C-alpha cells in the first residue's frame, strides 16, 4: 500500500504540483460547478454582506472563487499550508475583501484570526493528520450559529464506488498527474480517499465534534457517490 503523504511532506508535494494544478483540475468535468454548488449550500444571507468567511485549504483559489460567487459581498480569508499553491492563488485578480494567508489548518486556531460567520473547506480533511483536532479548531473559530460546508472526496461506502474510484485513478488521474511530474501526489489522492471516512462516518464525526444539523449531500454527475457536501452548524456558545 502506498504511504500517505502528511503535513510538511504533503505541503511540499502541493508546492511542486502548483504549476500544473489548475490545468489538471480543469480536465475534471464539473469540478468548478460542484465547488460553487457547495459554496452556495452555505446559504449566506444578503450575498454575504457584512460577513467574514474562511476558506480553509484554499489551494490555488478555485474554492475561493466559488465562495466569492456565492457571497460576493462577504469578506473572505483564504488559508493554505502550501506556499506554492498560495502563490498561485494570490497572483490572480481579487477584490479588496479577499485576503490570503500561509497557514495550516492546525496553525489557524492559534494565529488570532476570526471569529468567522462561515467556513468552507474543500478537499481538506483527508489531508490533515488529526481531523478531529481540526474540527475542534473550526468549531471554536465559528461564531454561534455559524455554518460549515465541507466539500470532500468521501465515498458512499459501497464496494461499487470504491472500485469506480480506483478505476478512475488508475485510468485517468494518476496518468495525468504523472505527465505533470506529480505521480506521488496523485497516488496519495487515490489512497487518501480509500483510507478516509465514508460519507456516513464523516457525518458522524461532525456530530461527535459538536456540530448541529449535520447532513451530507452527494454531488451530481459522474462523482455521485464519490464526493459529498457536508453541512453543519455551530451551536450557540461554541465560539472562542
Domain boundary assignment for the chain: 28-156+197-234
Looking at residue 111, its pLDDT comes to: 81
Spatial distance between the Cα atoms of 82 and 94, rounded to a whole number of angstroms: 19
pLDDT 10s per residue in the chain (240 long)? 456 888 889 999 999 999 999 998 998 889 999 999 999 999 999 999 999 999 999 999 999 999 999 999 999 999 999 999 999 999 999 999 999 999 988 888 788 888 999 999 999 999 999 999 999 999 999 999 999 999 999 999 999 999 999 999 999 999 988 877 788 899 999 999 999 999 999 999 999 999 999 999 999 998 999 999 999 999 775 444
Spatial distance between the Cα atoms of 222 and 214, rounded to a whole number of angstroms: 24
Question: DSSP string spanning 7-46?
Answer: HHHHHHHHHHHHHHHHHHHHTSTTHHHHHHHHHHTT--GG
Superfamily of domain 28-156+197-234: Vaccinia Virus protein VP39 (3.40.50.150)
Looking at residue 7, its pLDDT comes to: 86
Looking at residue 240, its pLDDT comes to: 43
Per-residue b or e along 111-134, where b marks 16 or more CB atoms closer than 10 Å to that residue's CB: eebbbbbbbbbbbbbbbbeebeeb
SS3 readout for 120-186: EEECCHHHCCCHHHHHHHHHHHEEEEEEEEEEEECCCCCHHHHHHHHHHHHHHHHHHHHHCCCHHHH
Instruction: Identify whether 174 is preceded by a cis peptide bond (ω within 30 of 0).
Output: no
Spatial distance between the Cα atoms of 37 and 67, rounded to a whole number of angstroms: 10
Cell numbers given for 156? 458512499
Amino acid at each position: 500500500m502506498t504511504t500517505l503523504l502528511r503535513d510538511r511532506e504533503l505541503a511540499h508535494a502541493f508546492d511542486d504540483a502548483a504549476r500544473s494544478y489548475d490545468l489538471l483540475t480543469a480536465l475534471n468535468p464539473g469540478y468548478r460547478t460542484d465547488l460553487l454548488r457547495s459554496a452556495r449550500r452555505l446559504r449566506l444571507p444578503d450575498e454575504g454582506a457584512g460577513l467574514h468567511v474562511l476558506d480553509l485549504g484554499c489551494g490555488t483559489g478555485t474554492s475561493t472563487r466559488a465562495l466569492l460567487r456565492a457571497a460576493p459581498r462577504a469578506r473572505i480569508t483564504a488559508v493554505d499550508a502550501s506556499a506554492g499553491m498560495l502563490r498561485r492563488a494570490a497572483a490572480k485578480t481579487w477584490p479588496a475583501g479577499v485576503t490570503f494567508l500561509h497557514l495550516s489548518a492546525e496553525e489557524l486556531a492559534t494565529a488570532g484570526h476570526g471569529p468567522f460567520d462561515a467556513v468552507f473547506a474543500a478537499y481538506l480533511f483527508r489531508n490533515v493528520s488529526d481531523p478531529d483536532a481540526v474540527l475542534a479548531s473550526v468549531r471554536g473559530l465559528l461564531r454561534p450559529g455559524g455554518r460549515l460546508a465541507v466539500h470532500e472526496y468521501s465515498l458512499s461506502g459501497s464496494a461499487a464506488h470504491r472500485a469506480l474510484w480506483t478505476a478512475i485513478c488508475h485510468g485517468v488521474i494518476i496518468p495525468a498527474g504523472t505527465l505533470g511530474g506529480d505521480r506521488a501526489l496523485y497516488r496519495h489522492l487515490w489512497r487518501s480517499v480509500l483510507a478516509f471516512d465514508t460519507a456516513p462516518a464523516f457525518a458522524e464525526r461532525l456530530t461527535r465534534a459538536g456540530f448541529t444539523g449535520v447532513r451530507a449531500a452527494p454531488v451530481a454527475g459522474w462523482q455521485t457517490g464519490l464526493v459529498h457536501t457536508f453541512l453543519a452548524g455551530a451551536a450557540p456558545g461554541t465560539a472562542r
